[in-house]
Amino acid sequence: MNHGPTAWSILRITLHHMHLHQPTSPPFVMLTLVTMAMLLWVQAARGVDHVLAPTDPWPESTAVAPGDRLFLTPGFYKELPVISYQGTEALPITISSVDSSQPATIVGDTWGMTIRGGHHIKVRTLMVLAGESGGIRLERDAAGPSRSIILENVYVVPKPGSLTNVGIDLEGVEGSRLINLKVDLWSRAAVQIRDARNVEIRGLTIRGDKNASIGVRVNDAVDGLRILDSSMLTIGGSGVAIGMTTSPPPASEPETAPAPAARNVRIERCVLERVAIPFTFASVADVLCDHCTIVEPESAAFELRSVRDGWPSASGIRIENNLIWWTVNVLKRFVIDDQPEGEFQMGPNLWWAAEMPAAIEWLGGFPSNAEPQVVDVDPRLIPRTTRATNPAAREFGHRGVTDDPSPAP
């Protein structure tokens, strides 16, 4: 454990120096004492640095205070014990690698890391070899949800020769942020969210395969989600699936419409490449899908999926300013609509295939209430970056012009 520079020793040396050089003017004594007090306050505010090796015991909650930092030296760490640290907004608790170029690796059996009921915790620059269930789990405890948890620059991947179920699981969280995360190879979902409020996902990169069911799975009891500037590559199912119910709907007052499973979702400036169905909407309300680039979808570009009995249908879905680069004889439909009562509004989007527009009718055309779609502009995408080079396409896709840059809160 490293306590850093000690202001107490500086204070003792200074007072000894003052004693040897009497007389000392009262103003100087007062200024010195005030300066020392400020040094002590700064040290206390910063907290304690805990430097850990793979064989060291993990600090218990009673040993970690607001402002403390846990630094992990390079090496392999066994599945961590449940973390319930309590930081504050001004003094969060940080868990990170000592050297970001050599990230510490956590090897999970069931989960690599679980944060239960923690507050104001930042987890940075780690690699997690996911266990059988998943990589990282954030969840509530008996006292309430985990609040203000930040995961940043963390890479989650299954152990060699195995496949994990979920990369990152959020259930019972408020105000959490996932920043610049990478998740490779999973079966159920790279990121799964349920019972969550005000979650932001920014700079996420996920790489699946044809066996990957869903990229970001948003289940029930979710209110407030932003997915920004993220990439989803090679997924056999849906890229983002919202309102995927896992239980019967909660009881509601008579003559009161039941709440949707998820609401208030924004998806902006994302890239979805070789994803069978980029976007699926089930029981969800108030969704904006704006300025995304979709490359080579297969089953459909958008899907309204049927919902369980008792759950309301999708409403307030707005799709606009997206760039969809598709291939004839690969894409089967533009939109799959299995919700007769669902509300789906399609603003202007750019659709391009070499055989356009003759192939539009083959795929059933666009929804009858869709605004005019742009179908005669070749965006001239650059491979790998999926950047459109045609100035006529500059308003569409993840590099398109947008009036709302959606800055971080």
Please give the C-alpha separations between residue 277 and each of 151, 189, 233, 338, in angstroms, as whole numbers. 27, 14, 12, 14
pLDDT tens sequence across 27-69: 544 544 445 444 444 445 579 999 999 999 999 999 999 999 9
Class of the CATH-defined domain 53-393 = mainly beta
Q: Which residues pair with 272 in a beta bridge?
A: 232, 294
DSSP at 272 = E
Positive or negative, the CA dihedral 353, 356, 359, 361 is positive
pLDDT at 16 over 90: no
pLDDT of residue 360: 79
pLDDT of residue 403: 52
Q: How far apart are CA 139 and CA 134, in angstroms?
A: 13
pLDDT at 367 over 50: yes
- HSE-CB for 134 with a 13 A CA cutoff: 18
For the question of whether the overall pTM of this predicted structure is more than 0.75, the answer is yes
Cis bond before residue 248 (omega within 30° of 0): no
pLDDT of residue 361: 73
pLDDT tens sequence across 226-284: 999 999 999 999 999 999 998 888 877 667 778 999 999 999 999 999 999 999 999 99
Helix (H, G, I), strand (E, B) or coil at 172: strand
pLDDT of residue 5: 41
pLDDT tens sequence across 141-165: 999 999 999 999 999 999 998 889 9
For the record, the structure tokens of 99 come out as: 């050297």
Indicate the pLDDT class of residue 356, thresholds 50, 70 and 90. Answer: low
Q: Where are the domains of the chain?
A: 1-46, 53-393
Burial of 114 (0-12, 13-18, 19+ CB in 10 A): buried
Strands annotated E in 229-322: 231-242, 262-268, 271-281, 284-290, 293-295, 300-304, 315-320
pLDDT of residue 402: 55
Average model confidence (pLDDT) across the chain: 88
pLDDT of residue 124: 98
DSSP at 30 = H
More confident residue, 88 or 360: 88
pLDDT of residue 161: 87
Strands 381-382 and 387-388, how do they pair?
antiparallel
pLDDT tens sequence across 296-332: 999 999 999 999 888 999 999 999 999 999 998 899 9
DSSP 131-164: -SSEEEEEE-BTTB-EEEEEEEEEEEEEPTT--E
pLDDT of residue 25: 53
* Mean of pLDDT values over 113-141: 97
pLDDT of residue 409: 41
